[in-house]
Amino acid sequence: MKRRDFLTSTALGATAMTLNACHRAEEEHSDNSTQVPRGKKVTLKLATSWPAHFPIMGTGIDNFAKRCFELSGGTLEIKIFPKNILVPALQVFDATSAAQIDAFHSGVYYWKGKNSAFSIFGGMPLGLTSEEMITWMKFGGGYALWREMYAKFNLYPLIGGTTGPQMGGWFKKEIKSLSDLQGLKMRIPGLGGEVLKKLGVNPVLLPAGELYTALERGTIDATEWVGPALDSMMGFSKAAPFYYTGWHEPGSILEITFNKTKWDKLSDTHQAIITAASEEMTANMLQEFRYKNAKALQELPSNVQIKTFPKDMMDATKVALKEVLFEESKKSSDFKRALESYEAFVKLNQPFDDISTKNFLNIRG
């Protein structure tokens, strides 16, 4: 698929899943079938940070809207507006907060300038995987903190997908040692960008549609994006042949976030449907990323060289991460509280993960 076609592709087919009947919605029984009661129709405007029908992430939110319509019996319609139709890609947070739109779909770490703690809810470098992140959010207290902090902006967040482990990025020149990072211009958001900044990198935040051009023209020297499936379609290998394994986003969280005033006015039934559909979307997205990344890895162009970062760089990265977390905790009580909750879950989870998942993967080889 050509890169231009990719950015304007039509939606992928949705995979239907049967939801658990524990969403506490009222039920009507007719002809031995269970239906959601029809009430007053609600229409919501949701803007995204992706191009129209962007594979996996964009089609995921398309299917989420479709499921909300289906499960509500047509009483809940969520209209999806791709980036730059109603608002620019990285202004969806402010637009939803101000009630200019009702909701958005984007990445949590984009908003660290609003509150540095948001970076933690988006995922931690060298930290929790997608499964672990969702477990912390749902059972370890992460959701409560996230919603408390977003409420200050009149927002109500839901997990809206996760990418699984991401790759470390595409580089024009090979990184042979820590010194090769000095002065490097790289598109990398969130805490990963703050860590690399300490190692001499100039981190840049750019939306998806600008990445290839910036890399091709030398405006940036490197970019991370997601993984083989989406990266290949973006054509990065034509401009930067060195493809590095990841460390900075082992389990990034995406979000479906609503204007809180609007959310609070929704019926219990519609809130339950949205919540259930968001969890379905999150599961589907993680599975689709895994399958399509595995397939795309086998189809990378012959000029691509898969590399791992040098040991001196990764050793320095671990030190820099600790410094960033300490400094941010000193500056922000919200960051400190979120980090304490995150680290408490890591301490609880790590021993079992070591003897279960990690041990099994070592055995499996």
> What CATH number does residue 202 fall under?
3.40.190.10
Q: Do 44 and 66 fall into the same domain?
A: yes
In this predicted structure, what is the pLDDT of residue 236?
A: 96
pLDDT above 70 covers what percent of the chain? 89
In this predicted structure, what is the pLDDT of residue 35?
A: 53
Q: Do 59 and 156 fall into the same domain?
A: yes
| Domain contains 106 | yes
| Domain contains 186 | yes
**Confidence bin at 25 (pLDDT 50/70/90):** very low
The answer to whether 166 is annotated as binding is yes
Q: Do 85 and 137 fall into the same domain?
A: yes
Mean pLDDT of 51-69: 96
The two three-digit tokens of residue 30, written as one number: 């007719």
Q: Is the per-residue pLDDT at 10 higher than 60?
A: no
Q: Do 161 and 176 fall into the same domain?
A: no
Q: Do 112 and 205 fall into the same domain?
A: no
| Domain contains 345 | no
Q: Is the per-residue pLDDT at 22 higher than 90?
A: no
Domain with 283, as residue range(s), is 3-165+251-295
The answer to whether 323 is annotated as binding is no
Q: Do 199 and 265 fall into the same domain?
A: no
**pTM, whole model, 2 decimals?**
0.87
In this predicted structure, what is the pLDDT of residue 20?
A: 41
Measured CA distances, 147 to 31, 260, 285, 323 (Å): 41, 10, 22, 27
**Confidence bin at 348 (pLDDT 50/70/90):** very high
Mean pLDDT of 142-169: 98
- DSSP assigned state of 89: G
In this predicted structure, what is the pLDDT of residue 9?
A: 40
Q: Is the per-residue pLDDT at 207 higher than 80?
A: no
| 203 bridge partner residues | 186
Domain count for the chain, please give it: 2
Q: Do 315 and 206 fall into the same domain?
A: yes
Q: Is the per-residue pLDDT at 29 higher than 80?
A: no
In this predicted structure, what is the pLDDT of residue 44?
A: 98
Please give the helix or strand (H or E) that residue 201 lies within, else none: none
In this predicted structure, what is the pLDDT of residue 38?
A: 57
Q: Do 181 and 226 fall into the same domain?
A: yes
Instruction: Give 157-192 pLDDT, tens digit per residue.
Output: 999 999 999 999 999 999 999 999 999 999 998 899
The answer to whether 111 is annotated as binding is no
Q: How many CB atoms lie within 10 A of CB 210?
A: 15
The answer to whether 224 is annotated as binding is yes
In this predicted structure, what is the pLDDT of residue 99?
A: 98
Q: Do 204 and 310 fall into the same domain?
A: yes
In this predicted structure, what is the pLDDT of residue 23?
A: 42
**Confidence bin at 24 (pLDDT 50/70/90):** very low
Closest CA to 258 of 273, 244, 242, 243: 273
Report the alpha-carbon distance of residue 315 to residue 119 in Å, rounded. Answer: 22
The answer to whether 147 is annotated as binding is no
In this predicted structure, what is the pLDDT of residue 37?
A: 55
Q: Do 39 and 120 fall into the same domain?
A: yes
